[in-house]
Structure 1
Amino acid sequence: MSIAIRDGGQNADGKPPGREVFFIEDMIGCLLDMLHDADYRVRLYLARQIVVLFQTWEGHNELFNDVCSSIGAKMVKFSDISPVTAREVLAAGPQSVPVIETALITLAHLVVHSEDVEVECVFMISAAAAIEPSQRELAFALFDSISRRLGYASRSKYLDQVMGPILFRWVACEMNLVSLVEVQEMFGYGSAEPKNFVEHCNSWLLPFLILRGDGADMD
C-alpha cells in the first residue's frame, strides 16, 4: 500500500509549493502489524492511535481494508467485492479474545474519526457482539462512548440513525436473524421486548430479505 502525504507549507514568496508526495508504506505496514502484537498494551495503544492515519490520508476505504487485514482476527465484514460472511467466521473456530477486543476498540475509534467507514465499523462491532456473547458488554460500552462523542443522548438514538445500513449488511453477510434479537438490548430494547424490536426492524429487513430471496428468515 502506498500512502501519499501532501506538504501544505508555503515558499518564501508565500505561494504554495508543488505537492510533494512521500511514500511511507513500510512505516504504515509496521504500525499495522503492531495491531496484533503479543503485548496487549501495544495493541491497545495502536488501537487508539490508528486514527492518526485516517487524519493524514484521504483514502479511508483503502486504509480501512488494510487495517482489517492486519487486525489479527477474522470478522464479519461487508464488501461489494468479497464480503466476509458469518458462516466463514464461525467456520474459522474460536479466536483470541484479547485480539477481538483490540479489534473492537480499534473499530470504535474509527467510527468517530471517519464518516467514510463509520457504518461498516458499527456493523462489524454489532456482528461481533452477536456472534460472540462474551464481547457484548464491551460492544455496549463502546457504543455508549461513541454516542456521547458524536453528541447523541444514548446509544439507541445513535444506532437507530444507522439501523438501515446495519440491517442491510446483516442480511448481505448472512447473519442469523435470531442473533439480531439476542443483541436487541444493544439497540435499546429490553429482553422482554423482542416483538417490539422485530416490528421496528421489519421495515428495513423485509425488503432486504426479499431481494436476497430468503423466505426462510421471514417466517
Structure 2
Amino acid sequence: MSESVDERRERLTGQVPEWYRAVMEPHDVETAFILGSYHMLQRGWVHASLARAWFAVAAENAPVDMAWRIADEYCRWGDPRQANKWMRYAIATEYRMRPGGVAVDPGTYALVIDHRGSAVGQDFGVQVVSADDDRATAALTAAALRFATVTADGRELGAGGNGTGGRDATPTSVSGPDPAPDGPTLSCDCGDLLVPLMARTMIGILAEEIRAAGLDGAEIRPRPGSRIRDGATPTLAHVGR
C-alpha cells in the first residue's frame, strides 16, 4: 500500500533539522520544496533520496508549476538526469491529450546528457506533426517571433525584447520553419543554457499558436534526428524515487 502525502510527510519530518520542523504546516508546498533543495545540496545518496522524496511531496500538492520548478532547480545545481525526469513529468501532466487538442511528446526540449552524466546542452529543436503542414508552418512562424523574446526564467518580454544574460538571457537565434517528412520543424540556438522554464513557455506559446491557426489534433515533438526522444509518460511515483 502506497503512502499518503501526510504519511510521507510524517515519516520525513523526523529526518530533517529541528529548525525546519517549526515552519512546517500540512500541505505547505514551499517548505517541501525548500526541504528538497536543502537535501539536494548535501552530499551522499541518503540526502539525494530525501531530496527526491520531498520534491515529490511538493509536486503532489501543486503538480504542474512545482514540477517545472523542481526541474529548474536540478538544472541549476547540476543533476541533469533528474531535471529531465521532472521535465518529462511536467509536460505529461500539463498536456494530457484531449480530442482535438494539442499533444506534447514528454521528450520535447530535453537536456542532452553525455556518457559521464553531464549536461552538454538542451535540444531546442521542435516539430509539429499534423494533418495540415501549411497551418503547422503558420503556427511555427508565429511562434518563432515570440520565442526570440523568451527569457531563461520563462518570461516573455514581447516584441523587441532582448535579455542581457543570466536569468534574463534569450535565444541567440531562431531558425525555420523548415519542411520535413512528418511536419515542419523549428530550431533555437540557446548556447549552453539549461533552461526548463524557457522550454515550458516556448511549448505553451507553440500550443497557443497551433490553436490560433485552427489546427486540431496536432502533436509537438522533438525534431527528427533529436539526440533524445522518450515517448514514455512518466508518473510522480517514477520521478519521486
What TM-score, normalized to structure 1? 0.37
Structure with larger RCO (C-alpha < 8 A, sep 6+): 2
The structure with the greater share of residues assigned to strand is 2
